[in-house]
Chains A and B, each alone.
Chain A
Amino acid sequence: DVKVTQSSRYLVKRTGEKVFLECVQDMDHENMFWYRQDPGLGLRLIYFSYDVKMKEKGDIPEGYSVSREKKERFSLILESASTNQTSMYLCASSPTRDSRAPNEQFFGPGTRLTVL
């Protein structure tokens, strides 16, 4: 079974703090994604990565950065957390070419971040 894990289920931080959210997948997937989920807005893509050290902006990258130094790990960084970044953050991974599960994204359990 594909496993995507996230470093924390719940996190509380203060305004201005630097926040790291980590995601690890164990299926050698090329693609990894970070989303934020807000009520009434669905899931919105923050950043994605299609290879080690490669990254592309999603729909809402402002206030965030990412790092992918190893294939299995994709980190989301909030350089200076703000209250409007309080949200659920979901990580996902997917293979580029896999006949068993073409184009399916596999999700982690999510991190509920509260910024006070």
Chain B
Amino acid sequence: AQTVTQSQPEMSVQEAETVTLSCTYDTSESNYYLFWYKQPPSRQMILVIRQEAYKQQNATENRFSVNFQKAAKSFSLKISDSQLGDTAMYFCAFMKHAGATNKLIFGTGTLLAVQP
């Protein structure tokens, strides 16, 4: 069975600085997807970034980038130039490639506070 581990329950960063959120996972699959979702306070969960395991290049979306280390089964999220609006709960998630049902397995989340 697949598992996703986020070892940092809470983190804090100053506005404009860079922060890295950690995620490790365990799977015997060779092809899969990894995601970071963001849940702002009292607002809907949204996708931040996705990575396909067969792609070696790390995904980037504006200020958000990942460090995907397939052999180490590590998938960290880097947020550059942190903004107050980045304050949220961040969830790392895993999805097997095979099949059409798109089931996600989530980590326990990291609560990020961006301080002014």
Q: Do A and B come from one complex?
A: yes
A residues touching B (Cβ–Cβ < 8 Å)? 4, 30-31, 33, 35, 40-45, 48, 50, 56, 58, 90, 92, 94, 96-97, 103-105, 107-110
Q: Which residues of B contact A30 (CB under 8 A)?
A: 100
- A94/B107 contact (C-beta < 8 A), A104-B47, A107-B45, A107-B46 known: no
**CB of B21, distance to nearest CB on chain A (Å):** 14
B108 lies within 8 A of A40 (CB): yes
User: Within 8 Å CB of A42, what residues of B?
Assistant: 4, 6, 91, 106-109
Q: List 9 A-B contacts (CB under 8 A).
A: A30-B100, A31-B101, A33-B103, A44-B106, A50-B100, A50-B101, A90-B45, A92-B45, A105-B102
- What's the nearest-Cβ distance from chain B to residue A26, in Å? 14
Is B64 at the interface (CB under 8 A from chain A)?
no
Contact A109 B108 (CB under 8 A): no
Interface size grouping (class) on chain B: 20 to 34
Cβ-defined contact, B9 with A56, below 8 A: no
Q: Give A44 to B47 CA distance when docked, in angstroms.
A: 17
Within 89-116 of B, Cβ neighbours of A (below 8 Å) are at 91, 95, 100-104, 106-109
Instruction: Tell me which residues across on chain A come within 8 A of B50, comparing CB atoms.
Output: 103-104
Chain B residues with Cβ below 8 Å from A104 are 35, 47, 50
List the A side residues contacting B33 at CB < 8 Å.
103
Chain A residues within an 8 Å CB radius of B43:
109
CB distance from A99 to the nearest CB of B (A): 13
Q: Which residues of B are interface residues toward A (Cβ below 8 A)?
A: 4, 6, 9, 33, 35, 37, 43-47, 50, 91, 95, 100-104, 106-109
**Cross-chain contact B108 with A105 (CB below 8 angstroms):** no
Bound Cα distance A10, B76 (Å) = 33
**Shortest beta-carbon contacts, A-B, top 6:** A107-B45, A42-B108, A43-B106, A42-B106, A94-B102, A96-B100
CA distance A92 to B106 in the complex (A): 13
Provide the bound-state CA to CA distance between A105 and B6, in Å: 20
Cβ-defined contact, A48 with B103, below 8 A? yes
Q: Report whether A108 and B44 are in contact in the complex, using a CB–CB cutoff of 8 Å.
A: yes
Q: Are A107 and B44 in contact (CB under 8 A)?
A: yes
Contacts of B35 in A (CB 8 A): 104
